[in-house]
Structure 1
Amino acid sequence: MAQQQTSRRRPGTPGAFSRWMQRTMNARMNRKVRRGRGQMMGMDVLILNTVGSRSGQPRETPVAWFADDADGGRLIVASGGGSRHPDWYVNLMAHPDRATIELPGRPPLPVAPHRLDGADRERAWERIAAAQPRIAKYQSKSDREYPVIRLSPR
């Protein structure tokens, strides 16, 4: 009688482990930001607080940011691994009036998100790419243009 082989895969839906791992890593980074250490891979990090586009539940995502000369705001890039918009971007655009950010050691700050287009995006992208050439390299390998969002204090 042949032995039945057992699977070494984790139970659950496909991708459940990677989603769990992403949530765990995000929670770890959020704790670091709240303790005043907001750096990841040489980039400044903030916590972007959004509301789920379908669930309406609060979401917290660590996101790299870049200084914006225009109004003291911050620039963020929705790279999402190159192939699609990240969930935080979809949530942010669905409920822009409910967005806040947390900077290391500071309370949440309400922000107004604005997706940059045309010359505004190009100027912002040049600053971002100069500060972090790795992001420009990722963009060059993607078929879609990464959205650049300005977060202005409300």
Structure 2
Amino acid sequence: MALEGAYDPSPAQWIREQVELYESSGGTQGTTLWDTGLPVVIVTMRGAKSGRIRKIPLMRVEHEGRYAAVASKGGFPRHPVWYFNLRAEPRVDLQDGPERRGMTAREITGDERDEWWERAVAAFPPYAEYQEKTDRVIPVFVLEPEPSAGPAPADAPARTRN
């Protein structure tokens, strides 16, 4: 089920324009980061403070139907605002070309982060430079498909409230 609510476009013009082109074309245009030609996806999330819908293009780092969201902010000392949005509300929508799906974001650490970090740098080599520019460890989230909605199997245990 798609996130619903009032949408606040990014204050950054290039982000607004890219999201608008990507979505208005059904995912057939605006699918690459304009200055690199490398593929991006659009991630829709809920703002942590406002509760309003936010949309951002992120580098496409996909593996077996899961995606990485790398909170690099170009190596700046602080996390991007969207990092806090995902921490507060991990339910997101992801558009990869024409395909849209509900996903859940999970921040990763340790060996799992290292594995995804390698994939991220392979997809977008400047991530390595960004990490060198900052003292913070650049956070990585894995976006995983939501379980398909539908009735539980007849033999599934009933859920109880604790």
Q: TM-score, normalised by structure 2?
A: 0.74
Deviation at 1:105, TM superposition (A): 2.3
CA distance in 2, matches of 1:104, 1:94: 26
Matched, 1:152 2:144: yes
CA distance in 1, matches of 2:90, 2:127: 24
Matched, 1:77 2:70: yes
Gaps in structure 2 of 5+ consecutive residues: 1-9, 147-162
Equivalence for 1:9: none
Contact 2:59 2:124 in 1 (8 A): no
Deviation at 1:119, TM superposition (A): 0.4
Matched, 1:142 2:134: yes
Instruction: Supply the RMSD in Å over aligned alpha carbons.
Output: 1.6
One-letter code aligned to 1:134: P
Secondary structure in structure 1 of the residue aligned to 2:103: strand
Contact 1:33 1:103 in 2 (8 A): no
Rg: which structure is higher?
Answer: 1
Equivalence for 1:63: 58
How many residues were matched structurally?
130
Secondary structure in structure 2 of the residue aligned to 1:139: helix
More helix by share: 1
Matched, 1:86 2:80: yes
CA distance in 2, matches of 1:43, 1:53: 29
Gaps in structure 1 of 5+ consecutive residues: 1-18
Change (3 A) 1:42 1:50: same
Equivalence for 2:20: 31
1:111-144 per-position Cα deviation (integer Å, ceiling 9, x unaligned): 0111110000111112222332211011111110
1:63-119 per-position Cα deviation (integer Å, ceiling 9, x unaligned): 1121124xx11112001232111111111111113x11122223x311011111000
Secondary structure in structure 2 of the residue aligned to 1:43: coil
